[in-house]
Amino acid sequence: MTMRSNEFAQMFPLGEPNDALAQYFMGQSYLAPLAAGSVPVSNVTFEPGCRNSWHIHHGAHGGGDQILMCTAGSGWFQAEGEDPVSMEPGTVIRVPAGTKHWHGAKADSWFSHIAFITPGEEVHNEWLEPVTDEAYGSLPPKRVDD
């Protein structure tokens, strides 16, 4: 039985379909801005199997690090050349600026994380190639607690 977005329990709003960045996601994601200003903070929710493309956050003078905090569901984070990391509620990952990486839901679970980028100069994202179905399909589909 497939869970619908309105049945996925989480502490932050689901948000709206992330149409502005849809070209960089395989599957449906949702974006709920939580705070604006110099350090925008958003809740990003991924449907089961949804993931973003490989990408790099750039920045100078301390900026450009991405902070990911899993708040619900189960997902993956992977930096290029490293093993994938299972993200469960409470997992926090700091992605240093300049690190090629991707993140998204596990095949059988919704996934939400809070995301923000540390402020600095010349902060921007560079979107790269999609995570292949072959690479994603080689990951364990089950949640850690199953």
16-70 pLDDT, tens per residue? Answer: 999 999 999 999 999 999 998 888 899 999 999 999 999 999 999 889 999 999 9
CATH superfamily of this structure's domain 14-137: Jelly Rolls (2.60.120.10)
What pTM, to 2 d.p., does this model score? 0.90
CB 79 within 8 A of CB 115: no
99-146 residue pLDDT tens: 999 999 999 999 999 999 999 999 999 999 999 999 999 998 765 554
- What is the percent of the chain where pLDDT is above 70? 92
- The DSSP bridge partners found for residue 67 are 94, 116
Is residue 2 scored above 90 in pLDDT? no
Q: Is the dihedral of CA 103, 105, 106, 111 positive or negative?
A: positive
- Phi/psi at 67 (5° precision): -110, 125
